Amino acid sequence: MELFSISMEVWALLMFAVLVVALLLGYPVAFTLGAVSLLFGSIFLDFSFFNLLPMRIWGVMTNFTLLAVPLFVFMGVILEKSGLAEDLLETMGLLFGTVRGGLGISIE
């Protein structure tokens, strides 16, 4: 049976199965996603395609909209480490504890 005679749906299922097996074996998610994508990319794409990868990564890195993601995570870490997040949640619980749906209001 020829390698590319298999339909794309089967390849997608195979890629998903390899991903799930690797995750169940305990490999970290980031490395597993990268390894599976490089493995299946090398099967279907020419190796010259990977020369364009640094330009694609540079385009994502220079996107100022995505800058908010690590800063938001950093803000959460600062609030958690300083204890402000816990104090804020306890205060909101005292304030809205008797109100129906108070937890939803305090999380907003």
Query: What is the model's pLDDT at position 96?
Result: 79
Shared domain for 25 and 50, answered yes or no, is yes
* Separation between Cα atoms, residue 28 and residue 22, nearest integer Å: 9
Domain housing 77: 68-107
Shared domain for 33 and 56, answered yes or no, is yes
Shared domain for 17 and 55, answered yes or no, is yes
Shared domain for 81 and 52, answered yes or no, is no
With 90 as the cut, is the pLDDT of residue 21 above it?
A: yes
More confident residue, 48 or 80: 80
Shared domain for 7 and 57, answered yes or no, is yes
Query: What is the model's pLDDT at position 1?
Result: 47
More confident residue, 5 or 80: 80
Question: pLDDT by residue (tens digit) across 50-93?
Answer: 787 788 888 878 888 888 888 999 999 999 899 998 888 888 87
Q: Residues near 85 by Cβ (< 8 Å), separated by ≥ 6? A: 76, 79
With 80 as the cut, is the pLDDT of residue 10 above it?
A: yes
The total number of structural domains that make up the chain = 2
